[in-house]
Chain A
Amino acid sequence: MKKFRTSKGLIGVVLVALILIVGLFAPVFIPPEAATAMNMTARLSPPTWDHPFGTDQLGRDLFYRVMLGTQTSLKIAGAAVLMSIVIGLPLGMISGYAGGRTDNVLMRLVDTLLAFPALLLALTISAILGPNLQNTIIAIGIAFTPYLARIVRGEALRVAQMPYVEAARSSGTTDVMILTRHILPNIMPAVIVQGTISLAFAILAEAGLSFLGLGTQPPAASWGLMIQASRDYLDIAPWTALVPGLAVALTVLGLNMFGDVLRDVLDPRSK
């Protein structure tokens, strides 16, 4: 735990805790109308006491919108990463443990998927399924799966060669037992680290998809959508871009720092 006491670890922990609190509790304290209520007399207002982050082109309060957008981002990114783990973990484990032809075929497929830029794959899947919240999750989840499968496979391959796995095998333990009892617990640290870093990338991907209109759809509050909407008012109201931009930046920065420290703690070999 000493590693968290560095300034980087501390900032990471504080940022992640802050984001989680906002994501969880903002919808409890802020009624949904607060983020969608338009006020035509206060359009594009700069930050004031009434609107600490200013307002957008429809006079909607940016503080409320950015707060409620936190949950949208976290929900989509979290579900997408979970999905990539649910698919990628067994795929990678089987590939790394079975070896031979199974490994060859699976990894050839994973390598092929890796040739598709993750954002391109996510955009394509979302465009084809039709952009909405659920399909955004599916699109990002699928796009991130090959990365996770690759890492899990490498870890499984390493653990499978350990003497204790050898011992378990020679004492007649079944493959399923070895995979769940010996391999899985030993690759979890790497999965948790990769999951945290993927979460940061998933937040960026969701923002990118929504920015292009192929992710979260209006009137939902989403950081990517807010940046998209700000484009036409950059000259007169730069805060409409800066507020959601900084929200994305702080979240991703926090997750990256947290992930870096988590790696040092859980996975010291990778240093």
Chain B
Amino acid sequence: MSLTYVLNRLLSVILTLFLITLVTFGVTNILPGDVAMMIMGTQSNPEAMAGLRASLGLDDPLIVQYGRWVGGMLTGDWGNSLIFRQPIAVLLGEKIAASAIIVVMSMTIALSLAVPLGVWAAVHRDKWQDTTSSSAALLGVSLPDFFWGIVMILVFARWLGWFPSSGFVDPAEDFMGALRHAFLPSLALGLGLMAHLTRMTRSTMTGILEQEFIRVARAKGLAERVVVWRYGLANAIGPVITIAGLQVGYLFGSIIVMESLFNYTGMGWLTYQALLNRDMPLIQATVFVIAAVVMLTNLLVDLLYLAIDPRIRLD
């Protein structure tokens, strides 16, 4: 990787982060009401409201308010949440850690099921194995993931009683408890994700198995197992990882629904609370952080792709 490439990417990341702040600020400032009204309510006395507006700097031009917001974030002052009455930076730190468990767990579940299933379907193309796996995947993408969540609660929590149906446990206090609480939401998210990834793995693998080098490998008498897993999958894994990376965006959308359903107090739950209570500073912070995480994940995946696929040369 050349230095210019890395510098270019870095510049582009900074530019995108800047644009993300613009979009976030823009979206949260399109409504007529403002933070002062949310703190005091619509019935409050106009003079007190004017005083609060002035003290919060809401009378300043938008560009000044924007500058203050971005400046604050750069210096580590993310402001206070109106509903939690806590510094936003502290809240974010806790909740991101909680959600990281779910993100990693659901990705692991999705990939460890989708890759074998997709390969299996591609190897037995147009046979019953393919039809079964493709139909299951199609059904998976067609069900809303909160529906899976409800099914999980019903089956694994209420009927079987194997896992708790709600709540979050700090892994520092009780590691196994943390995993048990994260399991059902992760499984529900993982199943939806798996459906997407199975379809992608299948189509990528199908394309690769038709190529010349696979025929050569077969012709020289290599075992089918080696041809498929060592030659085929090695070439398919790059695109599959890229697609898995792109799904992180989808995951962060679904996590809002799933954490709220399971009362799992992570980033998605926090975002939902902010939206529900119109806690403007917290909305801005959570929306910005999620977009930034999605963007950085995609960057990371690009770099990972470069690292694992030696055929890609940068000039």
Contact = CB atoms under 8 A, between A and B. Distances in A.
Interface stretch (B77-85, B221-229, B283-291, B302-310): B283-291
B143 A245 contact: yes
B252 A117 contact: yes
B20 A112 contact: yes
A113 interface: yes
Contact of A204 (B144, B272, B291): B144
B-side interface size class: 35 or more
Interface centre among A118, A235, A245 (most CB of B within 10 A): A245
Nearest to A253: B142
A120 B158 contact: no
A194 B150 CA distance: 30
A79 B28 CA distance: 23
Interface residues of A, number: 43
B27 A117 contact: no
B93 interface: no
B259 to A, nearest CB: 11
B275 interface: yes
Interface in B132-151: 138-139, 141-144, 146-147, 150
A156 B138 CA distance: 30
B28 A128 contact: yes
Contacts of A167: none
Contacts of A152: none
Contact of B27 (A124, A207, A256): A124
Contacts of A252: 141-144
Contacts of A129: 30-31
B48 interface: no
A127 B275 contact: yes
Given A115-B20, A245-B150, A120 B290 contact: yes
Interface string A114-139: 11111111011101111000000000
B291 A212 contact: no
Given A116-B294, A230-B150, A249-B142, A127 B283 contact: yes
A218 B169 CA distance: 34
B150 A231 contact: yes
A129 B278 CA distance: 10
Nearest to B31: A128
Interface string B65-99: 00000000000000000000000000000000000
B305 to A, nearest CB: 18
Contact residues of B: prevailing secondary structure: helix
A238 interface: yes
Interface in A230-255: 230-231, 234-235, 238, 241, 245, 248-249, 252-253
A245 B139 CA distance: 12
A46 interface: no
Nearest to A117: B253
B249 interface: yes
Contacts of A35: none
Interface in B230-278: 249-254, 256-257, 260-261, 271-272, 275-276, 278
B139 A116 contact: no
B27 A128 contact: yes
A236 to B, nearest CB: 10
B275 A256 contact: no
A86 interface: no
A214 B271 CA distance: 13
A33 B139 CA distance: 33
A234 B249 CA distance: 30
Contacts of B298: 115
A208 B295 contact: no
B194 to A, nearest CB: 16
Contacts of A128: 27-28, 30-31, 278, 283
B249 A112 contact: no
A119 B254 contact: yes
A111 B143 contact: no
15 contacts: A108-B19, A123-B275, A124-B275, A128-B278, A208-B257, A212-B257, A212-B276, A214-B276, A227-B144, A227-B150, A248-B143, A249-B147, A252-B142, A253-B138, A256-B138
Interface of A: 108-109, 111-121, 123-125, 127-130, 200, 204, 207-208, 211-214, 224, 227, 230-231, 234-235, 238, 241, 245, 248-249, 252-253, 256-257
Interface of B: 15-16, 19-20, 22-23, 27-28, 30-31, 138-139, 141-144, 146-147, 150, 153-154, 158, 249-254, 256-257, 260-261, 271-272, 275-276, 278, 283, 287, 290-292, 294-295, 298
Given A124-B275, A125-B27, A231-B261, 12 more contacts: A108-B16, A115-B294, A116-B249, A116-B291, A117-B251, A118-B253, A120-B256, A130-B31, A207-B146, A212-B272, A241-B154, A249-B147
